[in-house]
Structure formats: C-alpha cells, structure tokens
Amino acid sequence: MEVLNVNNLWKNYPTFSLQDVSFSVPYGSIVGFIGRNGAGKTTTLKCIYGLVHADKGEVLFDSKSIAGNEIAVKNDIGLVFGGFEFYLQKKLKTLKDVVSRFYPNWDDKSYDHWMKLFALDENKRMKELSNGMKVKFSLALALSHHAKLLLLDEPTSGLDPISRDELLDAFLEIVSDGEHSILFSTHVISDLERCADHLVYIRQGKIIFNGMANTFKDSYRYCEFNQGDLNSDETGDVLHCRHRGDVILGLVKPDSPLLSKAVIERKASMEETMLALERGESDESFDI
C-alpha cells in the first residue's frame, strides 16, 4: 500500500518544466530521489507539499488528494528543506514551542527522544549550530508530530560521515514499523546504497527510472579492458567509455558478451551508474 502517489505532475517555467512526473512511496519504505542539480527534485517536492502549484496532475496522500485535505494531511507529513536560516537569535526551545502549536499530534516525549539522539541542546541559539546540527534540529521537529511521511531535501548535506551514519540509522529506525515512510533527495548517492529500497531518478524534468534500488544497482557492471581487446564497435557498447593509458573502462550490461573480455569486472555502484548515465552516451529513457 502506498502512502504517497504522484500522478502525471506537470509544472512549466520559462526555462524548465516538470513533465508527466509519476511515482509512489510505499508504506515502510525509504525512497531515494536522485538527479543532477536543476533536474527537478526540489520543484517536485515543493509541488507535492503545495509550496508550488502544479499546472497539471494530482498528489494523493493515503489515497486522498492533498489539495483538498491540506490541513489534515500536513499534520501527517514532515518537511525538511535545507537552509534553516531564520530566527537565528532564538533558542531551540523557543522555536520548538512555536512549532508544536501547529500540530495536534505533537509529542514532547518523541521530541526529547530525537533531541537526545541527535545530541542537541535546546538552550542553544540557532546561530550557534553548525549546518549539520541545523539539519538535525529540523528533523527533530519533523519527527515529533508522528508524521507518516517525511519529505527531505538534501537531509545529509553538511553532515560529517559519523553524523550521516547516525542519521541513516535513524531513517531505518523510523520506517521499521512499516507505518512510516521517507522520500528524500540527495547528492550523496552512497547514502542510498545503505538505506534506500526504492529509487526515483529524474533527468531534465522527466522520470527515467522508478523502481527497486537493487534493480538499479544490478543494471550495469563496471569493467576494465585492455585497449587492444576491444574494437571500435565494441567500445560503442561501453557506457561512459573512458581511456586511462592502455586501459578502457566504463559500464556494460550484465548480459553483455564483452564481460568475457574484461580484466576487471564488478557490480557498478549507484553513483557510478548515475554518473555514467548523466555523462555518457545514454538514451533519454533508462533501459534495463
């Protein structure tokens, strides 16, 4: 069952447009939303939450239109965007007291749990927090009203590796009961390797992959070849083909006959696959 359905979403700007964006977020899942800068990730998240009005399409939360049930639905959605830069002189406790008034489901015990987990002192002022601590505080607020769905835009940006690891552990804990879900965009693709079970990949406003993360990870093999072992036609079958001295490297399909010629061959990482699709000679659609 899906907590979120995005159906045929369109949004046109003078220099950019979302085009027929559709995907869903199942209950109990972590869905990674990837694509290069300007691909449409943030615009899509803003359309989902209603911060931007879509030209066409609909967004359903628990099978109900968000547009027609905005107040009730937003009690069940936690939203975290980067750049928490307002009220810098205020203490965290003061900000918490203000935010909590907007949510009937606010839970002080949950708030205390996340503040302790993230090692945040609510007597500190916003200006005293690092960028990573600001992200953690935003998450603590979003998690403290029992949101069924978290919409997160670059939640691990600015975090050191240990803090990112702690945050990903928190994500896995949140969805473990099968009643909560997370949709988050990120440029740190290695985070998705660790925690995402679904993946949505957007390029130039169009969804080119929407499916299981393992399917994406299994779609290509990373290979290295001796230059003399491939002819020009064969190098054309190597995605993002590059030369390093006498070695040819790139990605090939897992059923490619070229695998038998590889001197090094392994599963491609998510990041390698995305980089190859963005920079290599790939089709407009993702072909698995």
> Sign of the CA dihedral 135, 140, 142, 148?
positive
Could you tell me if 121 and 211 lie in one domain? yes
Q: Give this prediction's pTM.
A: 0.87
Determine the pLDDT at residue 83.
59
Could you tell me if 104 and 234 lie in one domain? no
Flag whether 45 is in a domain.
yes
Could you tell me if 231 and 111 lie in one domain? no
For residue 101, the enclosing domain spans: 2-216
**CATH code: domain of residue 173:** 3.40.50.300
Residue at which a domain ends, from 182, 216, 250: 216
Flag whether 158 is in a domain.
yes
Residue at which a domain ends, from 189, 216, 243: 216
Could you tell me if 129 and 259 lie in one domain? no
What gap in Å lies between CA 55 and CA 94, rounded to an integer? 38
Give me 256's structure tokens.
């490619």
What gap in Å lies between CA 33 and CA 30, rounded to an integer? 10
Could you tell me if 164 and 26 lie in one domain? yes
Q: How many domains does the chain have?
A: 2
**For residue 42, how many other CB atoms are within 10 A of its CB?**
18
Determine the pLDDT at residue 84.
60
DSSP annotation of 278 reads: H
What gap in Å lies between CA 23 and CA 19, rounded to an integer? 13
Could you tell me if 65 and 142 lie in one domain? yes
161-200: per-residue pLDDT in tens? 887 888 888 889 889 999 899 999 988 888 888 899 999 9
Determine the pLDDT at residue 282.
46
Determine the pLDDT at residue 189.
86
Determine the pLDDT at residue 280.
64
Flag whether 259 is in a domain.
yes
**CA torsion, points 11, 17, 20, 25, in degrees to nearest 10?**
-80
Determine the pLDDT at residue 159.
76
Could you tell me if 206 and 124 lie in one domain? yes
Give every residue of the chain whose pLDDT is below 70, as ranges: 82-86, 280-288
For 43, how many CA atoms within 13 A lie in the half-sphere containing its CB?
23
Determine the pLDDT at residue 186.
86
Flag whether 117 is in a domain.
yes
Flag whether 287 is in a domain.
no
**Between vectors from CA 97 to CA 77 and to CA 72, what angle results, nearest 5°?**
30
Flag whether 39 is in a domain.
yes
Flag whether 276 is in a domain.
no
What gap in Å lies between CA 266 and CA 134, rounded to an integer? 38
What gap in Å lies between CA 208 and CA 36, rounded to an integer? 13
27-46: per-residue pLDDT in tens? 999 999 999 888 999 999 99
Rg (the chain; Cα; Å): 21
Could you tell me if 257 and 198 lie in one domain? no
Could you tell me if 201 and 263 lie in one domain? no
Could you tell me if 177 and 155 lie in one domain? yes
Coil, strand or helix at 47 = helix
Listed residue (50, 38, 45, 48) closest to 13, CA to CA = 38
Could you tell me if 207 and 253 lie in one domain? no
Could you tell me if 15 and 100 lie in one domain? yes
Flag whether 189 is in a domain.
yes
